[in-house]
């Protein structure tokens, strides 16, 4: 069963352009309501969260209209991190959770992600079944069964209290000075408050959302401002979240940026040493650096790779009974605590390691030497299919032959944007540069 509008992380696109229109959101809400409202004799509920994009207002209202028309009661959480939606879906006994966000994308994009009653993102099959309903005529409920909508004023507080319990046995974060960049996104309230309440000295940036500045030269995709602030303020570390706060990029006290691979390497070894790493393995994607794999092998930890997308990481974790996984981009999934990536929660785990060990951020986060890796993105039009072009295919084959002895290539379409992602790894930086340049040139010429 295929999916037409669902990608690797829900439905996503430019606001007011198909499929991110109020018309589609209205019908999508009705389709989801019909899918999850199995028993018409009892009340059903859905929680809806969003980030700080201006278009979130219109999509929230459209989804609410569609859901209530099929008899679902809607609980509106307001601006709140994606992992909070997963948590509150389960804790509030909702049938479904919805997050309105395009994560790290610019403000003019938006997206709709669905969570099941267990707080985990929906499977491909469930999304395909919702699409089948979407394509048909959705029967509304009887007038007496129309749902209600209610705003939950303390949603952020409920999530914050839970996050703090993940460090319940720890003495706190007293004495740690941290720069937190919230990307003008969903965690602009929660993240600084949680860090402060746990005892840290907090310098908050990216906490003035205006509907259009989310991820704008800030956050996990633009950590330069936070790195500069760490140096200027003499902070012990910096934490950069993305627009919906499900990913993290760390900055040490010297202003050096570390990606998700370094944090996963640290946590996997630490948990293995403590005897809490289930299955003796870390689950990551094909994008994770070869240096991470070598580092883990040296400490007796296996690396299990999946397709790109945190949902596929979580699926592999649940299937194999593992409790730690993530992506190089900064999604860190700890299923002992959360159902999806949680940037702030991962940052707290790192700060706890600093406090317990007495080591600096730079001593902890740079735990392995990376193999030279290069990633370049090429944007293409909606009518283009660069990977079907024979010249592009030949360039990829040639590149694979040249890197076969001491590297690897990964060429794929992004699941969230119209981009061809050209990634390679090789011990020989010069050879890597030439191979990636040749493939990128072939892709650009095909467009």
Q: What is the H or E stretch that residue 3 is in?
A: none
pTM, two decimal places: 0.90
Q: Tens digit of pLDDT for each residue in 340-354?
A: 999 999 999 999 999
> Read out DSSP for 7-27?
EBTEEEEETTBTTBSHHHHHH
Neighbours of 26 (CB within 10 A): 19
260-365 and 6-153 share a CATH fold: yes
304 pLDDT exceeds 90?
yes
Q: Say if residue 399 is exposed, middle or buried (CB neighbours under 10 Å; 0-12, 13-18, 19+).
A: buried
Percent of the chain with pLDDT over 90: 89
> Read out DSSP for 310-349?
HHHHHHHHHHHT--EEE-TTS-EEETTT-SS--HHHHHHH
The answer to whether 173 and 199 have CB atoms below 8 angstroms apart is yes
User: What span, in angstroms and rounded, lies between the C-alpha atoms of 10 and 261?
Assistant: 24
Rg (CA), the chain: 22
Q: What is the CATH number of domain 158-254?
A: 3.40.120.10
Structure-token pair, residue 231: 């140096």
Reduce the DSSP state of residue 376 to 3 states and report it: strand
What sign results for the dihedral spanned by CA atoms 289, 292, 297, 300?
A: negative
Q: Tens digit of pLDDT for each residue in 429-445?
A: 999 999 999 999 999 99
Rounded mean pLDDT, 7-17? 92
Beta-ladder partners of 115: 97, 121
DSSP H helices, 3-154, are 22-36, 56-69, 82-91, 124-135
Structure-token pair, residue 106: 């610019």
Q: Reading across the β-sheet that carries 201-205, which strands appear in turn? A: 201-205, 177-181, 237-241, 248-251, 257-258
As its CATH architecture, domain 6-153 has 3-Layer(aba) Sandwich (3.40)
> Read out DSSP for 255-272?
S-EE-HHHHHHHHHHHHH
Of the candidates 101, 103, 329, 446, the residue annotated as catalytic is: 103
User: What span, in angstroms and rounded, lies between the C-alpha atoms of 357 and 355?
Assistant: 6
52 pLDDT exceeds 50?
yes
User: What span, in angstroms and rounded, lies between the C-alpha atoms of 292 and 331?
Assistant: 15
CATH domain 373-446 topology: TATA-Binding Protein (3.30.310)
407 pLDDT exceeds 90?
no
What ranges do the domains of the chain cover? Answer: 6-153, 158-254, 260-365, 373-446
Q: Tens digit of pLDDT for each residue in 101-160?
A: 999 999 999 999 999 999 999 988 999 999 999 999 988 999 999 999 999 999 999 999
User: What span, in angstroms and rounded, lies between the C-alpha atoms of 54 and 305?
Assistant: 36
CATH domain 260-365 topology: Alpha-D-Glucose-1,6-Bisphosphate; Chain A, domain 3 (3.40.120)
- Known catalytic membership, residue 103: yes
Q: Tens digit of pLDDT for each residue in 188-205?
A: 999 999 999 999 999 999
1 pLDDT exceeds 70?
no
């Amino acid at each position: 069963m295929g999916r037409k509008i669902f990608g690797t992380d829900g439905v996503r696109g430019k606001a007011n352009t198909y499929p991110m229109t109020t018309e589609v959101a209205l019908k999508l809400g009705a389709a989801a309501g019909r899918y999850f409202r199995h028993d018409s004799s009892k009340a059903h509920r859905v929680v809806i969260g969003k980030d700080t994009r201006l278009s979130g207002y219109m999509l929230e209202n459209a989804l609410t209209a569609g859901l209530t028309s099929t008899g679902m009661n809607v609980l509106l959480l307001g601006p709140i991190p994606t992992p909070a939606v997963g948590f509150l879906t389960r804790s509030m006994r909702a049938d479904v959770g919805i997050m309105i966000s395009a994560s790290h994308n610019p403000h003019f994009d938006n997206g709709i992600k669905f969570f099941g009653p267990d707080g985990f993102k929906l499977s491909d099959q469930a999304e395909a079944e919702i699409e089948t309903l979407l394509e048909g005529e959705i029967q509304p409920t009887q007038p007496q069964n129309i749902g209600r909508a209610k705003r939950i004023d303390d949603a952020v507080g409920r999530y914050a209290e839970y996050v703090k319990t993940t460090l319940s046995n720890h003495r706190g974060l007293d004495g740690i000075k941290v720069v937190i960049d919230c990307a003008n996104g969903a965690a602009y309230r929660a993240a600084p408050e949680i860090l402060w309440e746990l005892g840290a000295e907090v310098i908050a940036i990216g906490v003035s959302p205006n509907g259009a500045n989310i991820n704008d030269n800030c956050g996990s995709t633009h950590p330069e401002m936070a790195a500069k602030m760490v140096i200027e303020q003499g902070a012990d570390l910096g934490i950069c979240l993305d627009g919906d706060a499900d990913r993290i990029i760390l900055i040490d006290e010297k202003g050096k940026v570390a990606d998700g691979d370094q944090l996963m390497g640290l946590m996997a070894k630490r948990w293995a040493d403590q005897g809490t790493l289930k299955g003796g393995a870390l689950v990551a994607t094909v994008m994770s650096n070869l240096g991470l794999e070598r580092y883990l092998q040296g400490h007796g930890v296996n690396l299990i790779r999946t397709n790109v997308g945190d949902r596929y990481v979580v699926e592999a974790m649940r299937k194999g009974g593992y409790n730690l996984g993530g992506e190089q981009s900064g999604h860190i999934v700890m299923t002992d605590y959360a159902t999806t990536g949680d940037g702030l929660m991962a940052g707290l785990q790192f700060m706890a390691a600093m406090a317990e060990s007495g080591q600096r951020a730079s001593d902890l986060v740079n735990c392995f030497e990376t193999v030279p890796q290069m990633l370049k993105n090429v944007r293409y039009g909606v009518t283009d299919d660069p990977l079907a072009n024979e010249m592009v295919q030949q360039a990829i084959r040639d590149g694979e032959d040249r890197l076969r002895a001491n590297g690897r290539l990964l060429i794929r379409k992004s699941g969230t944007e119209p981009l061809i992602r050209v990634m390679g790894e090789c011990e020989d930086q010069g050879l890597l540069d030439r191979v990636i340049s040749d493939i990128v040139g072939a892709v650009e010429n095909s467009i």
